[in-house]
Amino acid sequence: MVSRAGYGAMQLTGPGVFGPPADRDAAIAVLRTAIELGVDHIDTAQYYGPDVVNELIRDALHPYAAELAIVSKVGVRRGTRGEILLYNEPAQLRTGIEDNLRTLRIHRLAAVNLRMPDDTALPDARFDDQLAAMVQARQDGLIDAVGLSNVSLAQLEHALTITDIATVQNSYSLADRRSQAVLELTAERGISFAPYLPLGWPGRTRLQTLDSPVVRDIAERVGGTPPQVALAWLLSLAPNVLLIAGTRSTQHLRENTAAVEIELTPEDRAALNALA
């Protein structure tokens, strides 16, 4: 069990999620502030940097609080120029998990998500082998739970015939609801759903819906900001939704975690739903 407001650590790298941050001390401060604010769920990945984010988490928070759930993902790696490359053969998945454990200096992860490529939607024999590698890692005590990321409804349904899935991490926001069916199935099956890019791609795009008069009017009424309204809307969708909004700013971190306190009326939710 974790608090609904977690923290996504992806932005603690350099530009393009590659290389070290411009201000390492500021990155360390964000992580420590997250814990001070009650965050007990941090999302990371070995290929953020690569290595950079896991090493920052280790240096900032190790030894870890007993209640802190660290969740990572495997399935891709970074090239020497920052390119994203597949790294999802069964043996590579195992290596990816072990690399996470090594850099984080931890014996077991709360969960690891198998990240699926953008251009796949149907399960196949290779998917079964990948799931088998994840299940073996769980049986060997390297991870507590298996998760999926960037997954289609068909893939999730198939995975559930093979093993328990603890969490799903898909893109979902006011402007991107392509994973609606996946969200509904996770709610039905009691699987946590952690939407990534809930406010748009960091440093590149901001959701146009955040500038909508509807969002701004609701934000003014509740005494919050448009991003807080967008995050509160996500939480209102279903009780299994967890936030992993990322930022490299302690101010934005405080605002993001405070979104759990915003209460939207049924009329607010209806107006926000209509922005799809």
Whole-number Cα distances in Å, 70 to 54, 79, 119, 176, 197: 10, 25, 27, 26, 19
In the residue annotation, 7 being an active-site residue is answered as: no
Tell me the H-state helices in the chain: 24-36, 52-61, 90-104, 125-139, 153-160, 180-189, 213-222, 226-237, 250-258, 266-273
Beta-sheet pairing, 69-74 with 192-193: unpaired
CB atoms within 10 A of CB 169: 25
Pairing of strands 76-78, 84-86: antiparallel
Please identify which of the residues 47, 48, 87, 196 carries the catalytic annotation: 48
Dihedral sign computed on CA atoms, order 246, 252, 254, 257 = negative
Q: Which helix (H) or strand (E) holds 70?
A: strand 69-74
What one-character DSSP code corresponds to residue 102? H
75: left (phi over 0), alpha (psi -120 to 50) or beta: left
Instruction: For tokens 């509160």, name the residue.
Output: 232
Which residues are catalytically annotated?
A: 48
